[in-house]
Structure 1
Amino acid sequence: MAEEANRTAFMELQSRMIETTGKLKQVQIQMRSKEGEKKRAYLTLEELRQLPEDTNTYKSIGKAFVLEPKSLLVNEQEQKLRDSEAAITSLQTSKEYLEKQLGEVENNLRELLQQDPGLARQIMSMSVM
Structure 2
Amino acid sequence: MSTAAQLKELGNAAFSAKDYAKALELYSQAIKMDPSNHVLFSNRSATHAGLENWEDASKDAKECLRLNPAFLKGYYRLAMAQNELEEFETAIQTLQHGLAQSDGASDVAPLKKLLQIVQQKMKQKAAKSNANNMTSIPVTSAVTLDEATQKELADLREQQLRTAQELQSVEQQIISAQRQVRISEVTESELLELPADRHCYKAVGKAFVMKWLSKEGAIEYLKEQAESGSKLQTDLGQKKEYLERRLQNQRQNIQELISSASTAAASG
TM-score, normalised by the number of residues in structure 2: 0.41
Deviation, 1:20, is 0.1
- Superposition RMSD on alpha carbons, in Å? 2.3
| 1:37-73 deviations in Å (ceiling 9; x for gaps) | 1100010111112223222333334533233211111
User: Counterparts of 1:1-129 in structure 2 under 5 Å?
Assistant: 3-61=146-204, 63=207, 64-117=209-262
Unaligned runs of 5+ in 1: 119-129
Give the total of aligned pairs.
Answer: 119
| 1:77-97 deviations in Å (ceiling 9; x for gaps) | 000000000000011001000
TM-score, normalised by the number of residues in structure 1: 0.82
Compare 68-77 and 90-99 and name the one that shifted more: 68-77
Unaligned runs of 5+ in 2: 1-144, 264-268
Runs of 4+ with deviation above 6 angstroms: none
Which structure has greater helix proportion?
A: 1
Amino acid at match of 1:53: A
CA contact (8 A) 1:38 1:84 kept: yes
Question: Using the alignment, how far apart are the partners of 2:219 and 2:202 within structure 1?
Answer: 11
CA contact (8 A) 2:170 2:240 kept: yes
CA contact (8 A) 1:57 1:69 kept: yes
SS at match of 1:60: strand
Question: Using the alignment, how far apart are the partners of 1:55 and 1:28 within structure 2?
Answer: 38
CA contact (8 A) 1:59 1:73 kept: no
